[in-house]
């Protein structure tokens, strides 16, 4: 049975056509995406026969908030329990007038990046489009009357490995009859899956692209990111050129700062050569420690020295402040497992 959040507004209209007046579609969509009501019986302006039609013809099951942790910096991490008992995490990051939701696309991940806690889970399964949208709707309801302003597919999983569901979900989320997210406020991230980047470029869905690069030295990148053995840097670069020809958006490159590994002069020079002819911006992100990782976080002095030397790079560069580290909600820390640091605590609620 299809889920209510797994059908587009057009499909909903077709489903009702011939049985109910056309205006009922807008009423249902308003309840779903404007009022954040998840049960037909609570949609007070719908007739009983339409409520019954919706309940019997579609699934309405919504993930349960299994834990809700609030960081000292205002970041909120939600651990959600899906219908099969699987756990995923999404993170809401407030920043002045922006409220960005970091969305998961898979239960676990198969890509094995050594700096990422999710990699330890391995891949359990892909999320359905409805499970992706449900993350957004649950957090949107929690924030109301404030609104989410940005969506980033940077949570658990590799979005390019579940691209069909990610794109279908994004199409609905961008629809004017749903949440009407601007393409400029949505970003799909990848560890560098070239086939996915090309497919995204050809999809017709407009969104920004972020690539986890972390080193422009082939041997180093392959050491921490197995994907580089499948898609070497030269193939990745060509895919990024292809994406740029298909879109107006500048590509974002994410570069995790790992002391004694990718923060030397040679690393900066290699990065500079890689981006020299690519319209991009680079976010430098200090490594966030995860259990079992061989790396450590850089010191403030190491970060300052690196950023001074990185000024030679002829692209826009930014040092991105990690948010939610105290609740394991920062970049690379999502793991969605029961444990001491993840227990549901009402004491953390704002």
Q: Tell me: do 79 and 38 sit in the same domain.
A: no
Same domain, 324 and 190: yes
Per-residue pLDDT of the chain (350 residues; tens, 9 = 90+): 999 999 999 999 999 999 999 999 999 999 999 999 999 999 999 999 999 999 999 999 999 999 999 999 999 999 999 999 999 999 999 998 999 999 999 999 999 998 888 888 899 999 999 999 999 999 999 999 999 999 999 999 999 999 999 999 999 999 999 999 999 999 999 999 999 999 999 999 999 999 999 999 999 999 999 999 999 999 999 999 999 999 989 999 999 999 999 999 999 999 999 999 999 999 999 998 776 678 899 999 999 999 999 999 999 999 988 776 677 655 766 675 665 344 443 333 33
Residue 89 is a catalytic residue? yes
pTM: 0.92
Distance CA 132, CA 158 (A): 13
Query: Among the options 89, 131, 158, 254, which is catalytic?
Result: 89
Tally of domains within the chain: 2
| One domain, residues 195 and 292 | yes
Per the CB < 8 A criterion, the answer to whether 81 and 63 are in contact is yes
Are residue 102 and residue 11 in the same domain, yes or no? no
Domain identity same for 229 and 311: yes
Q: Examine the domain organization and report whether 177 and 105 are in the same domain.
A: yes
Tokens for 292, please give them. Answer: 């079992």
87 in Cβ contact with 66 (< 8 Å) = yes
Shared domain for 241 and 260, answered yes or no, is yes
Are 10 and 77 in the same domain? no
CATH number of the domain residue 310 falls in? 3.20.20.70
User: Are 251 and 315 in contact, with CB atoms under 8 Å apart?
Assistant: no
Domain shared by 186 and 298, yes or no: yes
Q: How far is CA 263 from CA 62, 163, 274, 310, in A?
A: 44, 32, 15, 9
Look at residue 329 in the predicted model and tell me its pLDDT.
Answer: 58
Confidence (pLDDT) at 243: 97
The verdict on whether 113 is a catalytic residue reads no
* Owning domain of residue 78: 64-348
Instruction: Please tell me the distance from the alpha carbon of residue 250 to that of residue 205, in angstroms, as a whole number.
Output: 15
The per-residue pLDDT for 346 is 33
- Whether residues 76 and 130 share a domain: the answer is yes
Q: Are residues 87 and 41 in the same domain?
A: no
Query: Which three-class secondary structure string do you get for 94-158?
Result: EECCEEEEECCCEEECCCCCCCCHHHHHCEEEECCHHHHHHHHHHHHHHHCCCCCCEEEECCCCC
Instruction: Tell me which of 10, 331, 340, 343 is the catalytic residue.
Output: 331
């Amino acid at each position: 049975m299809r889920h209510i959040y797994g059908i587009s507004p057009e499909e909903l209209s077709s489903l009702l056509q011939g049985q109910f007046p056309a205006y009922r579609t807008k009423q249902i969509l308003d309840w779903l995406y404007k009022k954040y009501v998840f049960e037909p019986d609570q949609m007070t302006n719908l007739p009983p026969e339409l409520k019954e039609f919706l309940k019997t013809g579609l699934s309405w099951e919504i993930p349960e908030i299994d834990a809700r942790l609030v960081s000292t910096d205002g970041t909120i991490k939600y651990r959600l329990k899906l219908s099969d008992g699987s756990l995923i995490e999404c993170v809401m990051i407030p920043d002045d007038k922006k409220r960005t939701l970091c969305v998961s696309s898979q239960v676990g991940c198969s890509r094995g990046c050594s700096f990422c806690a999710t990699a330890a889970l391995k891949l359990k399964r892909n999320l359905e489009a409805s499970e992706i949208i449900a993350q957004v709707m649950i957090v949107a309801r929690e924030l109301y009357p404030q609104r989410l302003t940005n969506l980033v597919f940077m949570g658990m999983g590799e979005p390019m490995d579940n691209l069909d569901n990610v794109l279908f979900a994004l199409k609905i989320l961008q629809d004017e009859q749903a949440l009407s997210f601007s393409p400029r406020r949505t970003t799909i991230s990848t560890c560098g899956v070239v086939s996915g980047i090309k497919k995204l470029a050809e999809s017709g869905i407009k969104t920004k692209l972020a690539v986890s690069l972390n080193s422009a030295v082939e041997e180093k990148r392959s050491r921490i990111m197995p994907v580089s053995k499948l898609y070497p840097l030269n193939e990745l670069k060509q895919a990024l050129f292809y994406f740029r020809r298909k879109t107006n958006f500048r590509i974002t490159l994410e570069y995790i700062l790992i002391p004694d590994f990718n923060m030397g002069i040679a690393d900066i020079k290699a990065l500079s050569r890689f981006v020299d002819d690519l319209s991009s911006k680079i976010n430098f992100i200090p490594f966030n420690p995860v259990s079992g990782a061989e790396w450590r976080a850089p010191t403030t002095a190491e970060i300052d020295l690196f950023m001074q030397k990185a000024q030679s790079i002829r692209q826009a560069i930014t040092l991105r402040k990690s948010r939610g580290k105290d609740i394991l909600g920062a970049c690379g820390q999502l793991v969605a497992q029961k444990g001491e640091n993840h227990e549901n605590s009402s004491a953390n609620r704002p």
